[in-house]
């Protein structure tokens, strides 16, 4: 669906303003950009983050911790890997590390994703708080990324640095740059001399590599496998190398001089003017290589070897073996001023401060050229923190190998999403220009591929993961209206998955969960843009394949990142359950589906996952260097949450940053025609509904308070207030308007509508008493998790086996199990049972917790009176007490006794309970006292 002309005009003016570095461009970047109109297919629409302000409460407290991180973290560190990729100055910034660095898992093949998350966080933080600092930081990042893309568009340029004698050229780690020399054939006797300042300790990075292939070559490596310099010459490959190894590592970030002489069967290696090793049995000479096909500084013919990171100063090659005295003299000044003079075969000073070539002072005119190992982008819109090779290699891969290729389109999604959010938050047209260029580049890369190749790519675990890129591309298309961008979104179709889910065929067993969940949010947006029903149908069906059959009590899903068979909950509990990214993406999908179908189940799930896993994934303490968000949340007994997983900067910490700055995004929705306001979540907040000229303020300490108050102020407006009645609200959901009971009977798991003409000062009070209830694991009813209203209660205990508890002993006539627990004074939602504390899951502590417990009701007990009769069990795990209390709520004791008689009679008639025991159970029930 193309946006109206006014949006295109806005886009054009924004991009033009960004292209002009004068005052008009600067002014344009100060304003936010109007978002495109919502899709016509949405029957319900969200409010923008700046239209809903969070009030004090658990969400604001969690957000405050993340906002402190957003303000304090150095964005120059986030930009380091992008600048390094383009060999631009990094200002000494150190990358965040973890997955967002060259030394991270799989050699940093996911770098660039975290800055994308960070941009989204800043955009949301700016919208939610109005703090201009967040927008300023976004503009810094946008400006830097614009410079990076511009540098990548062109051939490599010299990055000049202070040298050993004058200037030198620097090759940043991650730039994959090297110097291509023009030397020609080498004589039998030769001397190589180079000043180097290594910036990394990677083994086998070449100072020089002359040769044809991996069979005929000579090289000088800064470090071999033992960490010391090595020179080698061979015409028969690695096994036939004639080498010289140094005795000590070269220091990092310090200038060292390396020299090698070869003559008369002897090779000598010098370090800083001193001969450190000699090989007197060299039968090969450089002349045996003939005219080498390449003469490189910094690059190896072996693809697995790293590119040299650091700086080069004077490089010389002489057609003779210099004396020890001559090499010693090279330590004191430029070669031209020493007895050796300049190299007669090659002599480079590296004094150039610009351009992409180096002049040869040997008199041979062999100009050297700065190059990238991967050439350069296939399209000028390319933007990434690593070479395009990951995208290229994916096209020929047939199996998973994330050490070689790790989800490049996933990383592209995070960058694209961050740029789009940055554009909407700041109005900076450069961000949209970067995003649009990325779309153009991806289209140029993917459109020519045969469909079979793309289908294979997207089906490869991890390497082919592309996250929510389809959703982002659809949003890009809504801004640009360009047909290529909509066509690009459809190039990510994984047909076998879409078709199976559209046919309601569950194929999730064994799939990587977070690789696939965001696919379906993208499919819903594709439906919005194309009207193709199979996209929406597939997403609806998929949601039901996860909720509740693959869902843990806290709302999370997956074990060890993967799904197992539906209905297997107890059988999948472990230390690596409930990946936090999965909860983030399931919330997005639930929200997006609700825009089409106002099924309360979507918002019931949203509340469950938000109030439990998402809140509980954020640690309740400040940290200037880490967002402190879980990756996995282990649901095994005694699990302690890890808030700094895998050295930080994982995907889950990225989505965790986003979650903590958009807690208010689904509190309220509006009907597309403005006729209704949906109140989905009970959270302290203030909604500004400009369309009706009203403000709706929600005051509550929910979930510590079992209710909320909404006040309407402003203009007179007619609309229906649709209040979500949570499915757990079985103890009564009462609504009053200006003190009078609202008409109608609220039904749990539905919306309760109050339609009227609202006037300034109208007040709506909602009371929703909580009950303690259990949720049974689908595959093991005896393994249960506790809920008090929406809040998952976890036991805090260091034991590493399932804790055993009975809960029926003092159950209320209402069926509420809470009377069996004792409240902790002064600590809302905290209780104890048998000396063990139960606390809300959402508290981000490092206490060992038990999210699931083993339910044990060994004898039949009513009102704390024990009958002494063993509580019998059916083959499916259901006990006699389970069947009795399944009839709750009971109006009075008589109703309960009727239920007990009925259940006892059935169990006696089935031979599962002796008649005498049945009579003892009845007598116990009759004399027991009950909580109402």
Which CATH number covers residue 217? 2.60.120.200
In DSSP notation, 439-501 reads HHHHHHHHTTS-HHHHHHHHTSTTTT--TTHHHHHHHHHHHH--HHHHHHHHTT--HHHHHHH
Answer yes or no: is 687 within a domain. yes
Tell me the per-residue pLDDT of 437-468, one tens digit each, with 9 for 90 and over: 999 999 999 999 999 999 999 999 999 999 99
Phi, psi angles (nearest 5°) of residue 395: -65, -20
Locate 387 and state its tokens.
Answer: 């070479």
Q: What confidence score (pLDDT) does residue 1 get?
A: 35
Question: From CA 208, how far away is CA 249, in angstroms rounded?
Answer: 17
Query: Do residues 763 and 784 both lie within one domain?
Result: no
Number of structural domains in the chain: 4
CA 861 distance to own-chain centroid: 49
Answer yes or no: is 169 within a domain. no
Answer yes or no: is 677 within a domain. yes
Considering only CA atoms, give the Rg of the chain: 34
Cβ–Cβ < 8 Å for 820, 807 = yes
> In Å, how far are 16, 18, 412, 665, 727 from 441, measured between CA atoms?
20, 20, 11, 32, 47
Question: From CA 484, how far away is CA 490, in angstroms rounded?
Answer: 10
Cβ–Cβ < 8 Å for 844, 617 = yes
Answer yes or no: is 886 within a domain. yes
Answer yes or no: is 261 within a domain. yes
> In Å, how far are 161, 512, 657, 763, 873 from 168, measured between CA atoms?
5, 48, 41, 72, 81
Query: Do residues 759 and 776 both lie within one domain?
Result: no
Q: What confidence score (pLDDT) does residue 31 get?
A: 66
Query: Do residues 262 and 329 both lie within one domain?
Result: yes
Residues of the chain with pLDDT under 50: 1-30
- Residue 81 sits at the vertex; the CA angle it makes with 79 and 84, to the nearest 5 degrees, is 105
Question: From CA 114, how far away is CA 107, in angstroms rounded?
Answer: 15
Question: From CA 98, how far away is CA 93, in angstroms rounded?
Answer: 15
Strand partners, 279: 267
Q: Of the candidates 909, 772, 919, which has an alpha carbon nearest to the alpha carbon of residue 860?
A: 919
Show the domain range for 751: 668-702+707-767
Phi, psi angles (nearest 5°) of residue 295: -135, 100
Q: What confidence score (pLDDT) does residue 29 get?
A: 38
Locate 602 and state its tokens.
Answer: 């979507």
Q: At what angle do helices 5-19 and 469-480 cross, to 10 degrees?
A: 90
Question: From CA 785, how far away is CA 775, in angstroms rounded?
Answer: 5
Question: From CA 23, how far away is CA 30, in angstroms rounded?
Answer: 11
Cβ–Cβ < 8 Å for 414, 22 = no
Answer yes or no: is 659 within a domain. no
Question: From CA 330, how far away is CA 38, in angstroms rounded?
Answer: 70
Q: What is the CATH number of the domain that holds 753?
A: 2.60.40
Whether residue 548 has a cis bond before it, omega within 30° of 0 = yes
Beta strands in 376-434 (DSSP E): none
Tokens 């809302």 correspond to what residue?
828
Q: Of the candidates 442, 432, 439, 441, which has an alpha carbon nearest to the alpha carbon of residue 380?
A: 441
Q: What is the dihedral of CA 555, 579, 411, 119, to 10 degrees?
A: 60
Tokens 């006729």 correspond to what residue?
675
Query: Do residues 219 and 364 both lie within one domain?
Result: yes
Domain boundary among 492, 523, 540: 492
State the pTM of this model: 0.94
Domain boundary among 492, 515, 542: 492
Strand partners, 725: 750
Question: From CA 821, how far away is CA 811, in angstroms rounded?
Answer: 10
- Say whether 205 sits in a helix, a strand or coil: coil
CA 734 distance to own-chain centroid: 40
Q: Of the candidates 750, 770, 623, 696, which has an alpha carbon nearest to the alpha carbon of residue 71?
A: 623
Answer yes or no: is 295 within a domain. yes
First to last CA, the chain: 57
Query: Do residues 356 and 422 both lie within one domain?
Result: no
Query: Do residues 840 and 781 both lie within one domain?
Result: yes
In DSSP notation, 46-64 reads EPPGGGEEE-SSHHHHHHH
Buried b (16+ CB within 10 A) or exposed e, 593-604: bbbbebebbbbb
Q: What is the DSSP letter of 334?
A: -
Q: Of the candidates 211, 246, 208, 209, which has an alpha carbon nearest to the alpha carbon of residue 230?
A: 246
Query: Do residues 752 and 780 both lie within one domain?
Result: no
> What's the residue count for the chain?
932
> In Å, how far are 110, 522, 553 from 578, measured between CA atoms?
22, 22, 10
> In Å, how far are 22, 78, 127, 779 from 428, measured between CA atoms?
14, 19, 15, 53
Question: From CA 10, how far away is CA 7, in angstroms rounded?
Answer: 5
| β 294-297/791-796 pair status | unpaired
Q: Of the candidates 392, 470, 407, which has an alpha carbon nearest to the alpha carbon of residue 651?
A: 407
Strand partners, 838: 795, 831
Locate 543 and state its tokens.
Answer: 């949601």
Query: Do residues 302 and 402 both lie within one domain?
Result: no
Question: From CA 360, how far away is CA 347, in angstroms rounded?
Answer: 5
- With a CB cutoff of 8 Å and minimum separation 6, the contacts of 59 are 615, 663, 664, 683, 684
Cβ–Cβ < 8 Å for 73, 625 = yes
Locate 450 and state its tokens.
Answer: 């045969």
Domain boundary among 337, 372, 407: 372
Buried b (16+ CB within 10 A) or exposed e, 726-737: bbbbbbebebeb
Judged by phi (left if over 0) then psi (alpha if -120 to 50, else beta), residue 204 lies in: left
Query: Do residues 255 and 154 both lie within one domain?
Result: no
Locate 483 and state its tokens.
Answer: 């047909």
Query: Do residues 748 and 829 both lie within one domain?
Result: no
Q: What is the DSSP letter of 434?
A: H
Query: Do residues 782 and 902 both lie within one domain?
Result: yes
Run of H or E including 804 = strand 804-805
Q: What confidence score (pLDDT) does residue 647 get?
A: 83
Phi, psi angles (nearest 5°) of residue 252: -80, 145
Question: From CA 463, how far away is CA 910, in angstroms rounded?
Answer: 57
Query: Do residues 296 and 417 both lie within one domain?
Result: no
- With a CB cutoff of 8 Å and minimum separation 6, the contacts of 542 are 501, 508, 520
Answer yes or no: is 499 within a domain. no
CB neighbours of residue 266 within 10 Å: 14
Phi, psi angles (nearest 5°) of residue 201: -100, 25
Q: What is the DSSP letter of 336?
A: G
């Amino acid at each position: 669906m193309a946006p109206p002309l006014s949006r295109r005009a806005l886009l054009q003016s924004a991009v033009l303003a960004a292209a002009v570095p004068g005052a008009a461009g600067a002014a344009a970047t100060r304003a936010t950009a109007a978002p495109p109109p919502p899709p016509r297919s949405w029957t319900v629409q969200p409010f923008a983050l700046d239209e809903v302000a969070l009030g004090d409460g658990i969400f604001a407290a969690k957000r405050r911790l993340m906002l402190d991180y957003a303000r304090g973290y150095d964005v120059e560190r986030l930009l380091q890997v992008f600048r390094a990729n383009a060999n631009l100055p990094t200002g000494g910034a150190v990358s965040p590390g973890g997955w967002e660095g060259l030394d991270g898992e799989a050699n940093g093949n996911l770098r660039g994703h975290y800055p994308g998350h960070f941009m989204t966080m800043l955009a949301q933080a700016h919208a939610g708080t109005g703090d201009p600092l967040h927008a300023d930081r976004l503009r810094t990042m946008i400006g830097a990324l614009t410079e990076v893309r511009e540098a990548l568009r062109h051939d490599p340029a010299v990055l000049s640095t202070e040298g050993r004698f004058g200037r030198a050229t620097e090759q940043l780690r991650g730039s994959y740059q090297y110097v291509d020399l023009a030397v020609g054939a080498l004589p039998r006797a030769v001397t190589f001399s180079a000043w180097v300042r290594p910036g990394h300790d990677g083994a086998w990075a070449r100072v020089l590599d002359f040769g044809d292939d991996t069979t005929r070559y000579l090289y000088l490596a800064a470090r071999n496998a033992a960490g010391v310099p090595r020179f080698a010459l061979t015409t028969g490959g690695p096994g036939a190398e004639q080498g010289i190894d140094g005795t000590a590592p070269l220091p990092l970030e310090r200038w060292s001089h390396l020299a090698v002489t070869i003559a008369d069967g002897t090779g000598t290696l010098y370090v800083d003017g001193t001969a450190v090793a000699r090989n007197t049995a060299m039968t090969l000479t450089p002349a045996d290589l003939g005219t080498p096909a390449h003469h490189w500084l910094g690059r190896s013919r072996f693809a697995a070897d790293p590119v040299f990171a650091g700086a080069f100063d004077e490089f010389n090659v002489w057609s003779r073996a210099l004396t020890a005295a001559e090499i010693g003299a090279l330590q004191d000044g430029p070669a031209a001023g020493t007895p050796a003079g300049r190299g007669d075969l090659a002599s480079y000073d590296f004094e150039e401060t610009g351009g992409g070539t180096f002049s040869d002072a040997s008199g041979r005119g062999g100009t050297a050229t700065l190059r990238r190992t991967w050439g350069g982008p296939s399209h000028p819109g390319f933007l990434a923190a690593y070479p395009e090779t990951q995208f290229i290699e994916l096209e020929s891969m047939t199996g998973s190998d994330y050490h070689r290729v790790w989800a490049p389109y996933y990383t592209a999604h995070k960058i694209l999403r961050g740029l789009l959010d940055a554009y909407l938050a700041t109005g900076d047209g450069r961000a949209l220009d970067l995003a649009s260029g990325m779309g153009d580049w991806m289209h140029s890369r993917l459109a020519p591929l045969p469909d079979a190749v793309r289908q294979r790519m997207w089906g490869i675990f991890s390497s082919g993961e592309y996250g929510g890129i389809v959703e982002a591309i659809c949003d890009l298309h809504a801004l640009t209206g360009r047909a290529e961008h909509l066509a690009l979104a459809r190039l990510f179709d994984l047909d076998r998955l879409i078709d199976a889910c559209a046919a309601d065929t569950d194929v999730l067993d064994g799939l990587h969960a977070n690789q696939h969940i965001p696919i379906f949010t993208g499919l819903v947006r594709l439906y919005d843009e194309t009207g193709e029903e199979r996209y929406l149908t597939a997403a609806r069906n998929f949601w039901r394949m996860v909720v509740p059959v693959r869902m843990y009590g806290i709302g999370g899903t997956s074990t060890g990142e993967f799904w197992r068979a539906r209905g297997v909950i107890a059988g999948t509990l472990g230390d690596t359950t409930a990946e936090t990214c999965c909860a983030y993406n399931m919330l997005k999908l639930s929200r997006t589906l609700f825009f089409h179908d106002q099924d309360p189940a979507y918002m019931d799930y949203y509340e469950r996952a938000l109030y439990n896993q998402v809140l509980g994934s954020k640690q309740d303490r400040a940290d200037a260097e880490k967002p402190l968000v879980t990756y996995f949340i282990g649901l095994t007994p005694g699990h302690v949450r890890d808030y700094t997983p895998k050295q930080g900067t994982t995907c889950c910490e990225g989505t965790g940053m986003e979650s903590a700055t958009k807690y208010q995004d689904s509190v309220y929705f509006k009907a597309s025609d403005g006729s209704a306001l949906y109140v989905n979540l009970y959270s302290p907040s203030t909604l500004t509904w400009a369309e009706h000229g009203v403000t709706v303020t929600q005051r509550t300490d929910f979930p510590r308070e079992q209710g909320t108050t909404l006040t309407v102020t402003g203009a007179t407006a007619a609309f229906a207030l649709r209040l979500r009645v949570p499915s757990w609200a079985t103890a009564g959901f009462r609504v009053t308007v200006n003190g009078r009971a609202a008409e109608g009977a609220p039904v749990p798991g539905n919306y309760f509508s109050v339609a009227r003409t609202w006037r300034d000062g109208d007040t709506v009070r909602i009371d929703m008493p909580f009950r303690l209830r259990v949720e049974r694991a689908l595959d093991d009813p005896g393994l249960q998790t506790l809920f008090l209203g929406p809040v998952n209660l976890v036991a805090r205990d260091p034991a590493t086996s399932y804790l055993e508890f009975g809960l029926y002993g003092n159950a209320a006539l209402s069926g509420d199990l809470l009377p069996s627990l004792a409240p902790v004074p002064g600590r809302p939602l905290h209780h104890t049972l048998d000396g063990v504390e139960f606390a809300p899951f959402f508290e981000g502590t490092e206490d060992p917790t038990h999210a699931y417990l083993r339910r044990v009701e060994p004898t039949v007990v009513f009102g704390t009176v024990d009958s002494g009769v063993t509580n019998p069990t059916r083959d499916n795990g259901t006990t006699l007490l389970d069947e009795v209390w399944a009839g709750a709520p009971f109006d009075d004791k008589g109703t309960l006794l009727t239920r007990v008689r009925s259940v006892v009679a059935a169990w006696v008639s089935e031979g599962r309970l002796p008649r005498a025991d049945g009579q003892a159970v009845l007598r116990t029930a009759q004399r027991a006292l009950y909580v109402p």
